[in-house]
């Protein structure tokens, strides 16, 4: 029964989001051959007959049941939901690191700080390579291998390259990484190296790397694994499906996502819209997208022209994962904002650093780009867009250990020294815990312990 459902419903077609044309086959750059806009995957069978339309009751039970299975395709938290994904004739063909199945945490400390009764974090940093990218990579890398490609490639601010390199290696393919020199955290760079990628540090920013790669893929037989690849977004959809399963199919009021190249917000929005269309859920959460103020093209686009024309910016932020000035999936993200009633917000470097430490203090932790969610949420609560009694989920996109340099700089207190944010950064003092260098003596340690906790003074 299982495979019948998946193969039937998995018949897909590629549809251009600009001119609406249906393409047989994607070009190397995943852009529409007629108008150059992005492509999106559709499942025509979902609209034609009840037999090929995923049935919520059957599937919720089947997906739950698969959690007890030992098959790789069921152990993966992406492929467990394969009826919502492009199909494979033989499930042995997929490349999986048992991605997804990520935790949903309650965040009591952050809830208090934000002024909410309840706040949750879906931690996509708990994926095999430490970021949400794995959920999309398992799908798109599998499609690349099925297509006979020997090489895959991406431009990246770090996480995509780490994930791509891992899945390529697992699938017996070579990988080419283009990253902006000096702007990718050591953790992410070292992953790409370890997984065997040919790693090129280009003397430009992410947007420049993307431009170069687009030219490379037109000339060479390499498969593009950036999020313009619509198969990646299909895999990333499953975070929303898994979240709904964790919420017992009752959507929260708000989902808050960081925005970089805007693939992830687009993927999550697509998932919620599809789940609503198919009857898995009856309401939509408002999906809001937060950017760093120094890398805010979507915020400006929404505020200055209502989402009609992209306003590119020269991006600068220490949250290097989202240091992107010209996001590829901006149109898809605008559609998600409009369809779900979400909003956009921007946050300062100091606000990001504070929020990251607050998420850490809840015993969770994340990388800087993920922390924009909490920083933005605080503003949305103050503005009244999020009400104190509403349920909110932050999507934490990357693991704390992705960027330890940022964390160390923060706690040592030298992050904003000598910058124009120095004064604003005063509020960070209460969160900073610099490492303490001591003589190797019991007395010194006990004195420090008592200084940290007055109640130990007896
Ligand atoms: N958070 C993290 C940790 C990221 O690595 C990224 C993007 C985002 C958020 C933004 O997601 O691009 O889908 O809007 N990182 C990409 C990369 C660009 O190359 O790793 P998005």
Q: Are strands 39-42 and 22-23 parallel, antiparallel or unpaired?
A: unpaired
Measured from the CB, is residue 262 less than 6 Å from ligand 1? yes
pLDDT over 90, % of the chain: 94
According to DSSP, the β-strands at 119-123 and 198-202 are unpaired
First to last CA, the chain: 69
Please give the Cα distance from 348 to 368 (Å, whole number): 12
279 CA → ligand 1 middle, Å: 30
For position 150, what pLDDT does the model report? Answer: 98
Residue 426: how many other CB atoms lie within 10 Å: 11
266 in contact with ligand 1, CB cutoff 6 A: no
What value does the mean pLDDT take over residues 194-207?
A: 98
Is the CB of residue 261 below 6 angstroms from any atom belonging to ligand 1? yes
Residues of the chain above pLDDT 70, percent: 98
| Torsion (CA) 89, 222, 264, 63 in degrees, nearest 10 | 20
Tell me how far apart the alpha carbons of residues 147 and 22 are, in angstroms, rounded to a whole number.
20
Q: Is the pLDDT score of 7 beyond 80? A: no
Q: 5 pLDDT exceeds 70?
A: no
pLDDT of residue 458: 62
Above 90 in pLDDT, residue 50? Answer: no
Ligand 1 atom at minimal distance to the Cα of residue 333: 14
What phi and psi values does residue 6 have, to the nearest 5 degrees? -65, -40
For 223-280, what is each residue's pLDDT tens digit?
999 999 999 999 999 999 999 999 999 999 999 999 999 999 999 999 999 999 999 9
> Does the Cβ of 373 fall within 6 Å of ligand 1?
no
Tell me if 296 CB under 6 Å of ligand 1.
no
Pocket test for ligand 1, best of 322, 342, 368, 402 (most atoms within 8 A of CB): 322
Going by C-beta distance under 8 Å and a sequence separation of 6 or more, which residues neighbour residue 305? 311
Q: For the chain, what percentages of helix, strand and coil (3-state, to nearest 5) are there? A: 50, 15, 40
Which of 206, 233, 260 for mutating ligand 1's site (highest number of atoms within 8 Å of CB)?
260
Nearest Cα to Cα of residue 18 among 30, 36, 5: 36
Strand (E) or helix (H) holding 104 = strand 104-106
Cα–chain-centroid distance for residue 54? 26
Angle between helical axes of 330-340 and 297-305 (0-180°, round to 10): 60
Rounded to the nearest angstrom, the distance between the alpha carbon of 238 and the centre of ligand 1 is 16
Q: What values do phi and psi take at 341, rounded to 5?
A: 80, 20
pLDDT of residue 10: 55
Q: From the alpha carbon of 154, which atom of ligand 1 is closest?
A: 19
Regarding the beta carbon of 264 and ligand 1, being less than 6 Å apart is answered yes
Q: How far apart are CA 196 and CA 166, in angstroms?
A: 8
Residues 232, 234, 236: CA angle, nearest 5 degrees: 70
pLDDT tens digits along 287-323:
999 999 999 999 999 999 999 999 999 999 999 999 9
- As a three-state string, the secondary structure of 1-33 is CHHHHHHHHCCCEEEECCCCCEECCCCCCCECC
Mutation pick for ligand 1 pocket among 132, 163, 263, 321 (CB with most ligand atoms within 8 Å): 321
């Amino acid at each position: 029964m299982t495979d019948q459902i998946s193969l039937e419903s998995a018949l897909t077609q590629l549809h251009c989001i600009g001119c609406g044309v249906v393409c047989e086959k994607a070009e190397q750059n995943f852009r529409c051959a007629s108008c150059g806009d992005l492509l999106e995957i559709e499942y025509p069978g979902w609209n034609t007959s009840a037999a090929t339309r995923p049935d919520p009751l059957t599937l919720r039970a089947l997906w739950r049941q698969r959690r007890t299975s030992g098959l790789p395709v069921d152990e993966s938290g992406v492929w467990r939901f394969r009826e919502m994904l492009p199909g494979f004739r033989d499930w042995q063909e997929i490349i999986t690191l048992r991605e997804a199945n990520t935790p949903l945490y309650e965040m009591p400390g952050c809830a208090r700080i934000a002024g909410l009764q309840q706040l949750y974090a879906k931690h996509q940093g708990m994926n095999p390579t430490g970021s949400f990218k794995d959920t999309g990579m398992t799908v798109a890398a599998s499609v690349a291998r099925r297509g006979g490609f020997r090489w895959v490639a991406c431009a990246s601010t770090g996480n995509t390259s780490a994930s791509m390199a891992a899945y390529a290696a697992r699938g017996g393919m070579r990988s080419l990484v283009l990253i902006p020199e000096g702007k990718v955290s050591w953790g992410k760079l070292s992953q790409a190296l370890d997984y065997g990628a040919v790693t090129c540090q280009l003397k430009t920013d992410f947007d420049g790397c993307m431009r170069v790669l687009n030219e490379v893929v037109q000339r060479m037989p390499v498969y593009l694994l950036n999020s313009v690849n619509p198969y990646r977004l299909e895999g990333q959809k499953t975070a929303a499906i898994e979240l709904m399963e964790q919420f017992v199919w009752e959507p929260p009021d708000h989902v808050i996502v960081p925005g970089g190249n805007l693939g992830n917000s687009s993927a999550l929005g697509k998932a919620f819209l599809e789940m609503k269309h198919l009857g898995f859920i009856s309401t939509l959460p408002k999906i809001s997208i937060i950017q760093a103020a120094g890398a805010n093209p979507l915020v400006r686009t929404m505020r200055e022209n209502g989402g009609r024309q992209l306003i590119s910016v020269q991006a600068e932020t220490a949250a290097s994962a989202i240091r992107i000035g010209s996001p590829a999936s901006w149109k898809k993200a605008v559609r998600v904002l409009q369809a779900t009633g979400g909003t956009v917000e921007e946050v300062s470097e100091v606000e990001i650093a504070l929020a990251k430490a607050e998420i850490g203090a809840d015993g969770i932790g994340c990388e800087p780009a993920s922390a924009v969610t909490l920083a933005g949420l605080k503003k949305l609560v103050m503005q009244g867009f999020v009400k104190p009694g509403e349920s909110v989920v932050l999507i934490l996109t990357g693991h704390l250990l992705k960027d330890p340099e940022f964390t160390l700089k923060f706690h040592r207190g030298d992050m904003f020294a000598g910058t124009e944010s120095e004064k604003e950064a005063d509020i960070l003092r209460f969160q900073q815990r610099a490492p303490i260098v001591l003589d190797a003596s019991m007395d010194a340690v006990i004195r420090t312990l008592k200084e940290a906790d007055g109640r130990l003074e007896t």
